[in-house]
């Protein structure tokens, strides 16, 4: 059983990335053949500064390893270290209908926000399909916003298999955890870099506190009862706290007499405690870039070997065999 997922190095990872995806990567690395990669080719559709891309990619590796990704169990690599995937992208592109890509929300949302689309942005889901299909992936842990791209992937795999009348590609399934599939940001909308509402996992302590304190709440006065179910502070608190802690805080919401400031402080303290080990590990990794690079190189070698096997199958099916 192959588990695979990718994450874009477009800036520092936030709580949405962690609870929606990274936590699942780690939970699935123990008993599965896990492949996780840093999607630097996808990031090129938004990051146009080479120093930034290199920096974000290095940070992404540090963050993933610090958060618990264990290179002795899972394979970690950079997308751009596996050229087989870009070749496979072309093979898939030739069976991709324009109308399929025109329906993709991620592309439509960007268009709606006035971002001029280039071919990279438009064909982004085809590269993503190649990422997944290149390794015979069965299970792909992702947040809700990527589910449609998984459907595109299945669609392309089926079309290719059908056209060439061979089972070249394995059909993957999305692995989505309902409670954390759409983590809200500081404004209550989905946490997303493009909405400017993110809380980054490894923000320095002072800045982190500031971000938690800035979470938007309603204007219920301090003395009055409050509804935990509709409040973003409580929604985020639930991600970090035990069931007992959750119900204790919910009781205080309902009783009244507690201001949102106090709830935010409790949330901040929980988050700090939750990531404290990861912070220490990150500091170590930051001082040992050679170890990190060696992990990425070893991961890439394993990934290339698998991708070559699948690419050869696909080439043979199309008549590109020699
Ligand atoms: P990306 O880099 O935008 O996000 C990485 C992962 O984080 C999840 N996520 C969230 N989950 C819950 N709540 C949120 N607010 C939230 N924000 C982000 C995303 O769903 C994702 O799982 N196209 C992908 C990267 C990619 C990929 C792949 C993923 C490239 N190739 C192959 C899987 C398989 C992306 O842009 O994710």
DSSP class of 10: S
Q: What pLDDT does residue 110 have?
A: 84
Residues forming beta bridges with residue 35, ordered by sequence position: 4, 75
Domain co-membership, 210 together with 64: no
Q: Is residue 280 part of a domain?
A: no
Domain co-membership, 90 together with 135: yes
Q: How far apart are CA 223 and CA 238, in angstroms?
A: 23
Position 270 pLDDT exceeds 90: yes
Mean pLDDT of the chain: 96
**Least confident piece of the model among 64-68, 117-121, 149-153, 200-204:** 117-121
State the average pLDDT over residues 267-283. 97
Q: Could you give the C-alpha distances from 71 to 21, 150, 253, in angstroms and in order?
A: 17, 25, 42
Q: What angle do CA 68, 74, 78 make, to 5 degrees?
A: 95
Domain co-membership, 147 together with 261: no
CA end-to-end span of the chain: 31
Atom of ligand 1 nearest to the CA of 137: 34
67: confidence class by pLDDT, cuts 50, 70, 90: very high
Q: What pLDDT does residue 322 have?
A: 80
Position 175 pLDDT exceeds 80: yes
Stronger pLDDT, 86 or 32, i.e. the higher one: 86
- CATH number, domain of 35, equals 3.40.50.620
Q: How far apart are CA 18 and CA 10, in angstroms?
A: 15
124: confidence class by pLDDT, cuts 50, 70, 90: very high
Position 31 pLDDT exceeds 80: no
Domain co-membership, 309 together with 160: yes
Domain co-membership, 161 together with 54: yes
What ipTM describes this predicted complex? 0.99
238: confidence class by pLDDT, cuts 50, 70, 90: very high
Q: Is residue 174 part of a domain?
A: yes
Domain co-membership, 167 together with 53: yes
Domain co-membership, 245 together with 293: no
Q: How far apart are CA 57 and CA 250, in angstroms?
A: 39
Please enumerate in sequence order all residues whose Cβ is within 8 A of that of 270, keeping only pairs 6 or more positions apart, or say none: 237, 240, 241, 245
Among the options 108, 190, 264, 302, which is catalytic?
Answer: 190
* Whether the Cβ atoms of residue 168 and residue 161 lie closer than 8 Å to each other: yes
Domain co-membership, 138 together with 167: yes
Position 241 pLDDT exceeds 90: yes
Q: Is residue 155 part of a domain?
A: yes
Q: Is residue 119 part of a domain?
A: yes
> CA torsion, points 136, 303, 5, 74, in degrees to nearest 10?
110
Please enumerate in sequence order all residues whose Cβ is within 8 A of that of 150, keeping only pairs 6 or more positions apart, or say none: 132, 140, 142, 172, 173, 174
Residue minimizing CA distance to atom 29 of ligand 1: 6
Position 115 pLDDT exceeds 90: no
Residue minimizing CA distance to atom 27 of ligand 1: 6
Q: What pLDDT does residue 116 have?
A: 83
Domain co-membership, 151 together with 294: yes
Distance 292 CA to ligand 1 centre (A): 22
Burial degree of 55 (CB within 10 A; 0-12, 13-18, 19+):
middle
State the average pLDDT over residues 35-59. 97
- What is the number of structural domains in the chain? 2
Position 8 pLDDT exceeds 90: yes
Q: 309 is in which domain, residue-wise?
A: 2-183+288-318
């Amino acid at each position: 059983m192959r588990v695979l997922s990718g994450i874009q190095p477009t800036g520092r990872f936030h709580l949405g990335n962690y609870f929606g995806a990274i936590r699942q990567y780690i939970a699935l690395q123990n008993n599965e053949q896990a492949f996780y990669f840093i999607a630097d080719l996808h990031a090129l559709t938004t990051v146009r500064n080479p120093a930034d891309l290199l920096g974000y990619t290095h940070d992404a590796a540090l963050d993933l390893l610090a958060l618990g990704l264990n290179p002795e169990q899972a394979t970690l690599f950079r997308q751009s270290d596996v050229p087989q995937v870009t070749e496979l992208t072309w093979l898939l592109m030739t069976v991709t209908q324009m109308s399929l890509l025109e329906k993709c929300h991620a592309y439509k949302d960007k268009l709606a926000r006035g971002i001029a689309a280039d071919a990279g942005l438009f064909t982004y889901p085809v590269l993503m399909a190649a990422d997944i299909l290149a390794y015979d992936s069965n299970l792909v842990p992702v947040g809700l916003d990527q589910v449609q791209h998984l459907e595109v992937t299945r669609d392309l795999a089926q079309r290719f298999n059908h056209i060439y009348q061979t089972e070249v590609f394995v059909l993957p399934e999305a692995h989505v955890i309902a409670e954390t599939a759409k983590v809200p940001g500081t404004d209550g909308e989905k946490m997303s870099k493009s909405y400017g509402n993110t809380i980054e996992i490894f923000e320095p302590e002072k800045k982190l506190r500031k971000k938690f304190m800035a979470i938007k709440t309603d204007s219920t006065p301090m003395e009055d009862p409050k509804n935990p179910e509709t409040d973003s502070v409580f929604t985020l608190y639930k991600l970090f706290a035990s069931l007992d802690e959750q119900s204790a805080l919910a009781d205080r919401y309902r009783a009244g007499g507690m201001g949102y400031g106090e709830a935010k402080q409790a949330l901040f303290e929980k988050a700090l405690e939750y990531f404290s080990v990861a912070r220490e590990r990150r500091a170590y990794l930051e001082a040992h870039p050679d170890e990190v690079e060696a992990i990425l190189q070893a991961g890439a070698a394993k990934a290339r070997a698998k991708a070559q096997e699948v690419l050869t199958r696909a080439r043979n099916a199309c008549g590109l065999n020699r």
